[in-house]
Structure 1
C-alpha cells in the first residue's frame, strides 16, 4: 500500500482540477465531489496507518530534476509523523468540507470554493509527505497560494483583498528563510533529502548548523504566525469561517510546527537553535493571549487564541528531544477543539446575519443549544479543564517548560502557566458575552436594516461540530493513555525524555495551572458576567487595553522594520534608476543628438560657403604658424 501513497494527494488534487477547470457545469454536484475526494484520502490514510509500524519508508515516484550534483527525486516518506498529519489534515479537513456544504449553500461559486479547499488539502499533504526539503517547499508554496485564494474569497470586500495580500507577502518573508536554509544544506551537506541531510548534519560546521536552524525557524514563523510574523493570522479571518477553521486548526499554521519536528536531527545538534525556538514560542504565546483579552470580534479572539496555542507548540518543540512529541500532541488536540470552536463561531454567525461583534450577542444558548454545547466543550478543552483534551496536552508542555534548568525553567514555565490563566480569561469572556446574559441583539438591527433571528444551524453543519466536540473531550486522554502517541512517534522523533526534576515540585504544576485557569474564569465572570455588557465598545480604556487593541503594535513594528524601509529602498532604487542609469543614458543620447544637430548646420550645400570656410581656415592656419614662428 505504501507504494501507492501518492493516492493520498491524487484524490484532492484531482478534485481541485475538475472543480476549477470544469466551470459551472460542476456547480450542481461540485461540493459533493470536493467532500468525497478528501474523505477518500482520509480512508486511504487510515488504511496506511493501520498497516504501518511507523518506521520511515521512502518511495520514489520519479526523478524530478537532476542538475549536476543536485539530483532531486519527487518522492514521499511514510512514517509515524507523516501519518499522524495525514489523518489530522484529511480527518478534520473532511468535517470542515461537510460543514461548508451548509455554510456556503447560498454562494453562487460554491464549487470553486470547494476546488480551492481541495487544492489546500492536496498542497498540505505534499508538504507533510515529501521525503526531501524541495518537495516540502513545493507543498509549502502551494499552501501559500491556496490560502491567498481562500482568505480573499469575498472579492467585493477591500478588507479581504488586503488581508489576502498581507498573508501572502508576510509568508514570503518566511519562505525566503526556508529557501536559504535549503541552499545551505546543499552547499555544506551536498543533499536536500531528509536521509542525506540528517545523516550529514553532524559533519557540518557548528555555525552553519545554527544558521540552518534559525532560517528554518524563520520559515516556520511565517507559516505558523509566530512573532514577529504573526500579524497576518488574525487578518485571515476575512475569509469564510470554514477557511478560518481549516487554516487555524488542521493545516497551514501547523506547518511550521511540523517543519521543526521533522527537522529534529538538525535542532538536536544546536542548543542555540532550540533556545531561540523556545523563546519565540514563549513570546508568541503571551502576545496572543494578551491581545485576545481585548477584542470583541469572536473570530479574532479565536484567531489570537490560535497564535497563542501555536506558541505553546513552538515552545514544546524548542525544549528538545523530550518536547517534540508534546508539541505534536498539543497540535492534534488543538486540531479538534479549535476546529470545533471556529465552526461553532460560524454557526453563531450563520444565525446572526454574519455578525461577529460579541457585544451584539447574548443569551444565545437558548436559541442554539447544539452550538452552545459543542462550543462549550471546545472552550473547556482549550482552557485545560481537568481530563479534557487540553488538560493532557497543554499541561504536559507546562510541566516540561518548568523542567528546564536555571532561569529557563522559571521563564518558560512561568510564561506558559500565565498564558493558561489569560486563555481562561478571554475564552470565558467570549462564552459569557456570546451565550449568556441579556439578549442584546433583540434591540439591534444590522447595517442593512434586517432584524436578527438567531436559530440553530442545519444538521450538515451541526454534525461535524458534534464529532469535533467528542474529540475535544476524549482525544487527549486517548493519545496520552499509556504514552500511546509518544511511543508511536519514536521512529520519527526519538524517545520522550522526561525531565528528572522541575524548578518547582513536579506534583504542584498541575494544581498551579488549574488554579490560574480558575482565577482567569473568575476574573472574566467579574468583568463580563456580573456587569451588563455595553453594546458599544468603550473608547476610554487603559493604556494596556489600548495597546492590545492595536495588536501590541505588531503591525506598527513590521511597518517600521520592514514595510517602510522597503518602501524607501524602492523609491531610492527608482530614483537611482530614473535619474542615474536612465539619466546617464538619456544625457549621452541628448548630447550626441544636440551636437550632431549643430554640426549639421555647417552642411549648407552652397559652394561659396564652403570656400569662405576654407579661406577662414587658411587665415587661422597661417596665424597659428606665424605665432609659433615668432614666439
Structure 2
C-alpha cells in the first residue's frame, strides 16, 4: 500500500529521464501507472464489500510514535478507484491535448505528484500524514492551475486558490491538534470508534476549525469563488480537479469524520445551511455563464454543496445518496470536462453561444456529451437520475432547516437541468455556426475518457444494483460508521422525489428554451454579485499589502537600532507585565556585596558608559573589551575560573577581529541626536533593569532538581573524564558546543574574506581601502559622462 501511494512520486522523479526515451509516447507510458493502480485497488473489492477494513502500517518516525499507516475501507476505496481510473484517462487525454507543448514533461511531473498526494490523503490513517498530503495537494494544484505561467490570469488564479486553501489548511491544522487532544490519538481508526467527543469542551472549536479547512478546500460558500477561477488551468487539470481529486478532499474529510464528529445539533445546522446555500449559488452562477468550462465549474460548486448538505442531514438515506451522488458526479463531470476541452481544441472557442451544429463534425464527442449531460440533468436511464432521486428523498427526510433545504434543492435541480442542456445540446445541435477553427473530431486519446465515463454512467443507470453492490454500499457504511444495506433501483414508483424531478425537468426545459432572455434579465444582479465574497477576498489581500507596507516602513525599515528597540521593548512589556502584575513578587534585597566586588562592577559600568558615549569606533571596541574582561573577572571571583578563561579568550578574539575590520570602515559620519540617545537609554535601562530583577528572582527558584549532581557522578563512568566542565562541553552538550564552534568558524571565515577582498579583484567592486563606497546610481554615471561630453547627457540618463 505504501508503494502504491508513493509510486506516483517515484515515477514523477523519473519522468525527465523517460521523456528523452519515450518522446511522444510519454503520456501513454505514464498512464500505465494509474491504470495498474486501478486494477490493483479493484482487487480489494471482495474484501471491502464483505465489510473488512485493511490496514497497512509502516513506522515512519518511531521516536515520535508517528507511522505511515494507510487504511482501505469502502470510502477510501471509492476515492482511490476514482482517482486512478479517471487519472488514467486524464493522462491519455493530456498526451493529445498538450501534444507538442514545450513544458509537457513538467506537466506530467506535477500531475503525477498531484495524483499521489490525493491518494495519500484519502488513504491516510494518521492525522499528521493526512495533513501533509492535504498541503501537498494545495501546492501541486497551485502549480497545475498556474501551468501556463506566462498568462497573468493563470498566475492570479493559482495564487488565489493557494491563499484560500492554505489559509483553510491552517485552520484545519488547529482543528486536528484539538481533535487529537480530545481523543488522545492521532489515528483516525482510534478516533472514529470513540464515544463522547461531542461532549468535550473543545468540540465546538475543533469542529469550526475542521469545517474551515474543509469548506475552503471544497469551495463552499463563501469560499466558492476560487474554484471557477481555477479554470485558467489546462483542461486535463480541470477535468481531474473537479471530478476526482482536490475539490472533493474537503468533502472526503467531512465524510471520514462523520462517525465521530457528526450527529450533533451544530453539525446538523451548519452543514445543511452552508451546503444548501452553496448548492443554489453554484447552480445560479452557472446559468449566468457562457463559457463551457465556467458552466461546468459552477455546476461542480453545486455538486460539492449537495454532498455537504447530505452529510449534514446524516440519515441512512442521506449516506446512500452521498455515495451515489459522489460516484455519479465524478463520472459525468470527468466526461463533460473532457468534452469541453475537445470543443475548445477543435473549434478554438470556449464560448458556448458561438457554437452550434457540431454534431456531424464531432459525432463521438456529441454522443458522449449527450449521455453525460443527461446524467448531469438527472434523467433516466442514467445513474445521475438514481442519485438525484436519492437526493430528493434524503432532503425530504431531513429534520433541520427542512423548508430551506427542500426549496433550494428543487430550485438548484431546475437550474442544473438547464445547464446540462446548454452543455450537451447547444454546441452540437441547431444551425452550424462559424468558429475560429474548422471543427473536427478529436484524437482517440481525447475521446477515450468521455466515452468510457459516459458509458459507465449509462451502465450503472440501467443496472444500478451493480454500482450499489460494488461501491455505494461499502462507501455509505464507512461514512455512517455502521453497516448499511443498499438497494438501488431505477424506478421507485410515483412518489414525492419523482414529482420533484418532473417539476424540475419542466422548469429547467423552460429556462433552457428562454436562456438568452433569462440570462439578460439576471444581468441586473451583476452589481450585487460584483460585491460578493470575491470582492471581500480582494479587500483582504489589499489590506495585507497595506499592513506589509506599513510594517516594512515602520518596523522592518533596515535600521538595526530600530530592530533592537522593537525586540527589547516587546520583551520588556510582555515579560515585565507577566512578572509584576500577574505574579506576587517578593524581592530579596539582602545582598552580601564586598568592596572589591563593587570596584569590579563599577569598572564594568564605567566601561559600558564610555562605549555608549565615545565617538570613536576604536574607543568603543576597547570599552566593550573592558566590559567583557570585567565579566571574566567576576567569574573568577565567584569560583568559575573555567568560565573566566573562556570569557577572556572570546573577548580577546572578538576585540582583535573587530579592530582588524575597523581598518576597512570609515569614521562615524554622524552621531545620534539627543532625542534618539534618550530613547535608546530608556530602552537599555528598562531592559537591563528587568533582566536584573529576573536574575535576582530566579536565584531562589528551583523548579527541577539540580543536574549538577548527575554530572559529577556520571562524568567519569560515562565519559571517562575527570574534568567535569570539559566532559559537559564535549560529551553531555556536544551538539551545543559544535554549534558554537560552527558559528565562530563562520564568523572567522567572513572576516577573513573581508580582509582578503582588495579593490579591483572583481568587476563592480564597491570596496576601497579605508572607506566604504555605496553603489553608484545611474544618474551619477550620466553626470560623469556629461562632464566629458555634454551631448551624452540624455543618452546616459536613458541607459
With structure 2 as the length reference, what TM-score do the two structures score?
0.66
Counterpart contact for 1:39–1:94, Cα < 8 Å: yes
1:341 equivalent to 2:336? Answer yes
Q: 1:393 to 1:189 in 2, by over 3 A?
A: same
Provide the C-alpha distance between the structure 2 equivalents of 1:148 and 1:118, rounded to a whole number of angstroms.
14
Give the alignment partner of residue 456 of structure 1, picking from 441, 447, 452.
441
1:553 equivalent to 2:571? Answer no
> In the TM superposition, what is the alpha-carbon distance from 1:585 to its structure 2 partner?
5.5
Counterpart contact for 1:297–1:356, Cα < 8 Å: yes
> 1:41 corresponds to which residue?
37
1:61 equivalent to 2:79? Answer no
Counterpart contact for 2:239–2:337, Cα < 8 Å: yes
1:73 equivalent to 2:91? Answer no
Q: 1:126 to 1:358 in 2, by over 3 A?
A: same
Provide the C-alpha distance between the structure 1 equivalents of 2:74 and 2:68, rounded to a whole number of angstroms.
20
Superposition pairs of residues 225-240 of structure 1, within 5 angstroms: 225-240=219-234
Give CA deviations for 1:195-223 in whole Å, capped at 9, x if unaligned: 23224452564442232222222111121
> In the TM superposition, what is the alpha-carbon distance from 1:307 to its structure 2 partner?
0.6
> 1:607 corresponds to which residue?
none
Provide the C-alpha distance between the structure 2 equivalents of 1:231 and 1:284, rounded to a whole number of angstroms.
11
Q: Secondary structure at the match of 1:154?
A: coil
Counterpart contact for 1:35–1:94, Cα < 8 Å: yes
Q: 1:347 to 1:575 in 2, by over 3 A?
A: same
Q: Secondary structure at the match of 1:453?
A: coil
Provide the C-alpha distance between the structure 2 equivalents of 1:430 and 1:509, rounded to a whole number of angstroms.
25
Give CA deviations for 1:479-520 in whole Å, capped at 9, x if unaligned: 55695345323255324599xxxxxx9922221222222211
1:426 equivalent to 2:419? Answer yes
Q: 1:21 to 1:362 in 2, by over 3 A?
A: same
Provide the C-alpha distance between the structure 1 equivalents of 2:141 and 2:440, rounded to a whole number of angstroms.
30
Counterpart contact for 1:384–1:514, Cα < 8 Å: no
Give the alignment partner of residue 544 of structure 1, picking from 513, 521, 525.
525
Give the alignment partner of residue 270 of structure 1, picking from 259, 264, 268.
264
Provide the C-alpha distance between the structure 1 equivalents of 2:130 and 2:617, rounded to a whole number of angstroms.
66
Q: 1:150 to 1:554 in 2, by over 3 A?
A: same
Superposition pairs of residues 582-621 of structure 1, within 5 angstroms: 584=562, 596-597=614-615
Give the alignment partner of residue 155 of structure 1, picking from 146, 149, 152.
149
Q: 1:200 to 1:568 in 2, by over 3 A?
A: farther
Q: 1:95 to 1:584 in 2, by over 3 A?
A: closer
> 1:325 corresponds to which residue?
320
Q: 1:579 to 1:112 in 2, by over 3 A?
A: closer
Q: Secondary structure at the match of 2:58?
A: strand
Superposition pairs of residues 112-127 of structure 1, within 5 angstroms: 112-127=106-121
Provide the C-alpha distance between the structure 2 equivalents of 1:477 and 1:567, rounded to a whole number of angstroms.
55
Provide the C-alpha distance between the structure 2 equivalents of 1:352 and 1:592, rounded to a whole number of angstroms.
81
Q: Secondary structure at the match of 2:402?
A: helix
Give CA deviations for 1:577-618 in whole Å, capped at 9, x if unaligned: 147996645899xx99995349999xxxxxxxxxxxxxxxxx
> 2:280 corresponds to which residue?
286
Q: Show structure 1 runs of 5+ residues with no match.
A: 443-450, 499-504, 602-631
Give CA deviations for 1:249-286 in whole Å, capped at 9, x if unaligned: 01111111111111112233532023211211111111
> In the TM superposition, what is the alpha-carbon distance from 1:287 to its structure 2 partner?
0.8
Provide the C-alpha distance between the structure 2 equivalents of 1:95 and 1:578, rounded to a whole number of angstroms.
51
Give the alignment partner of residue 414 of structure 1, picking from 404, 407, 421.
407
Counterpart contact for 2:197–2:261, Cα < 8 Å: no
Q: Show structure 2 runs of 5+ residues with no match.
A: 487-492, 567-608, 620-799
Give the alignment partner of residue 167 of structure 2, picking from 163, 166, 173.
173
> 2:703 corresponds to which residue?
none
Provide the C-alpha distance between the structure 1 equivalents of 2:221 and 2:450, rounded to a whole number of angstroms.
31
1:379 equivalent to 2:373? Answer yes
1:470 equivalent to 2:448? Answer no
Provide the C-alpha distance between the structure 1 equivalents of 2:267 and 2:183, rounded to a whole number of angstroms.
18
> 2:695 corresponds to which residue?
none
> In the TM superposition, what is the alpha-carbon distance from 1:566 to its structure 2 partner?
3.0
Give the alignment partner of residue 488 of structure 1, picking from 458, 466, 474.
474
Q: 1:413 to 1:599 in 2, by over 3 A?
A: closer
Provide the C-alpha distance between the structure 1 equivalents of 2:106 and 2:42, rounded to a whole number of angstroms.
28
Counterpart contact for 2:19–2:26, Cα < 8 Å: no
> In the TM superposition, what is the alpha-carbon distance from 1:454 to its structure 2 partner?
0.7
Q: 1:400 to 1:25 in 2, by over 3 A?
A: same
> In the TM superposition, what is the alpha-carbon distance from 1:23 to its structure 2 partner?
6.5
Q: Secondary structure at the match of 2:290?
A: coil
With structure 1 as the length reference, what TM-score do the two structures score?
0.83
Counterpart contact for 2:315–2:394, Cα < 8 Å: no
1:573 equivalent to 2:551? Answer yes
1:526 equivalent to 2:520? Answer no
Counterpart contact for 1:392–1:480, Cα < 8 Å: no
Q: 1:587 to 1:143 in 2, by over 3 A?
A: closer
Q: 1:389 to 1:581 in 2, by over 3 A?
A: farther
> In the TM superposition, what is the alpha-carbon distance from 1:16 to its structure 2 partner?
1.1
Q: How many residues align?
A: 567
> In the TM superposition, what is the alpha-carbon distance from 1:476 to its structure 2 partner?
4.5
> In the TM superposition, what is the alpha-carbon distance from 1:316 to its structure 2 partner?
0.6
Give CA deviations for 1:354-403 in whole Å, capped at 9, x if unaligned: x2122222221222111111111111111111331211112312221121
> In the TM superposition, what is the alpha-carbon distance from 1:246 to its structure 2 partner?
0.1
> In the TM superposition, what is the alpha-carbon distance from 1:51 to its structure 2 partner?
4.3
Q: Secondary structure at the match of 2:361?
A: coil
Q: 1:564 to 1:363 in 2, by over 3 A?
A: same
- Supply the RMSD in Å over aligned alpha carbons: 3.1
| 294-303 or 362-371, which deviates more | 362-371
Q: Secondary structure at the match of 2:427?
A: helix
Provide the C-alpha distance between the structure 1 equivalents of 2:405 and 2:459, rounded to a whole number of angstroms.
27
Give the alignment partner of residue 185 of structure 2, picking from 179, 186, 191.
191
1:563 equivalent to 2:541? Answer yes
1:6 equivalent to 2:2? Answer yes
Q: Secondary structure at the match of 1:59?
A: strand
Provide the C-alpha distance between the structure 2 equivalents of 1:63 and 1:422, rounded to a whole number of angstroms.
49
